[in-house]
Every structure is written in structure tokens, then in C-alpha cells.
Structure 1
Amino acid sequence: MERSLDTGVFEQVDYLNVNAPAPDDSVARPPMVVTDPSPLYAMTADFDGDAIRLEDRVWQRMQNGDIPDENGTDRRAVIDGKISVSPLTAPHTVERHDRLDDVAATYSP
């Protein structure tokens, strides 16, 4: 996301959360969209010595069509085959920045 460094985005946000769909056989890069984090969470983390195993039960249900995540959310974008970028602050809030949409558009095919 080096293109975002000179846009002023990081004057308003602390980090960008990027989620990408699982790769397929296509050589084309998926489009990138700016999103909000999904408000639906059902994640567990199991610690086993030095290993951490994460399980997101919402993703499992979405793949079966059980949870219709809203358009504009990170999870919906990934399910739709797009790269999701959510501009976030710490503590966790969402701060939209117009220039980030321009950056995402430069990555889209």
C-alpha cells in the first residue's frame, strides 16, 4: 500500500486492514475496494504452546449463505472476490478518507 503513504490517509487513520479472497486460477488481480469492518463476529482463538488456531464461525456460515453481510463490508467484498481495505484507528474505529478510494481504484483491473 505504498501508494497510500503520500495521500494524507495516515493523518486520519492508524492502519489499513487488508483482506483478500483465496486465489483462484485467474491471472487477473481482483479489484480493490474500501470497506467498513463487518459488525458480525464469532471468532475463537485456541492457544496450543506456541501455535494459535483461529476459527471464524461467521465465515463458515457466510460460505453456506446463512449470513447476508451488507454491501460495503470487508467480508462481503472478499466473498464477492474483491480485495478489501478498511481504514482503522486504535482504539478500533473506522475513519473514511476520500483519497483512499482513489488509491484502491489504481489497483483495480
Structure 2
Amino acid sequence: MAAGVIVPEHGARSFGLINAALGAGTVIGGLLAIRYKPERPLAAGAVAMLAYPLYPLGIVLGLPVWVPAAAQVVVGAGIGVWGVMWATSVQTQVPGEMLNPHPAPDRR
């Protein structure tokens, strides 16, 4: 949907820039999340995801391309933080036998 709005108005290059900004944001968020050790990782990840509406908001308001691109950096950072916090929570809070309840096949 975003491409259908951005490309006709600003061109494919702008859409590519906005998506690259998302990628940069996820890297930044992942790196930040590696260093940040919250007491409640899932809550921290959920708060980080509150940034998600910034991107569609920037599109529907018809703002200059740099605004949705900057929003995508923030959104990407939120996604990156969420991903690290989710993976950390699963690996530290869920027993291993629950993650893989089926024993490995006997390969004799």
C-alpha cells in the first residue's frame, strides 16, 4: 500500500530510500538492544513497538519524503529492539523441552 502512495508522488528512488531507512533502523535497534538489559524484556520490546504507527502517519499526512524516512529509522529501531527482547525472553524463560518437545530421531 505504501508503494502505491509514495512511488506515484515521489518516485521509486524515494520508496527505496524509505525502505533502506527501515533496514538501518533495525540494525541500530538490534545493537541498542544488545547493550540494554531491561528487567522486563517483553515490556521493553512492546514499548519499542509503539513507534510503529509513525511511518503510516507520515505517509497519510503527505509529509516530505525525509519525514517518513526518519520515521522508518525509528520504526526499524523499535522492531530491532522487539526482536532481541522476544528472542531473549523465549530463550531464558521457556524451558528447552517446551521449545522442542519431540526427541531427536535415533540415527543408529
Higher relative contact order (CA 8 A, sep 6+): 1
TM-score by length of 1: 0.20
More helix by share: 2
More strand by share: 1
